[in-house]
Amino acid sequence: MHTFNHAISWFEIPAANLERATAFYETIFHTKLMPIEMPNIRMRLFPLQDEVQGVGGALVDSGGFHRPSMTDGPLIYLNGNPDLQEVLNRIPAAGGTILVPKAQISDSHGFMAVFFDSEGNRVGLHSVG
């Protein structure tokens, strides 16, 4: 039986306007995304310290293969630690909308929130505090 350190290995967030999406995520997370250009696909990778043990992901402009969605598809939760409220506070000024404000999941599972990003994707945040 195979066990995982993380249930997710990689995620891709569709972007209709990759520059706008990059600015949005760099602003709300106070980070720098790494550009990757390939034939028919452009990506901006989220920083990752350990490619084997960590969870990687990117913003993706695939010329229409990936499409932003407010309602369809899976809902991913990005790391908002140590307190996702700090990230939520930056979302409106960066061009996003808070859909579900910070809410406690239970006494032992931390907090969650959901927002629409600059591209119209529904994205979650999770933090322990």
Query: Which range of residues forms the domain containing residue 52?
Result: 10-127
Is 4 within a domain? no
pLDDT at 4 over 80: no
C-alpha–C-alpha distance, residues 129 and 48, integer Å: 22
pLDDT at 61 over 90: yes
pLDDT at 8: 82
Is 1 within a domain? no
pLDDT at 74: 79
Is 3 within a domain? no
Tokens found for residue 77: 């939760």
pLDDT at 2: 61
pLDDT at 118 over 90: yes
pLDDT at 54: 84
CATH of the domain at 34: 3.10.180.10
Q: What is the mean pLDDT of residues 84-89?
A: 96
Is 5 within a domain? no
pLDDT at 68: 85
Q: Do 87 and 29 meet the contact criterion of CB atoms below 8 Å apart?
A: yes
C-alpha–C-alpha distance, residues 49 and 76, integer Å: 20
* 3-7, 14-18, 44-48, 75-79, range with the lowest pLDDT: 3-7
Total domains in the chain come to 1
- Scanning the chain, the segments in alpha helix (DSSP H) are 18-29, 84-94
Q: What is the mean pLDDT of residues 104-124?
A: 92
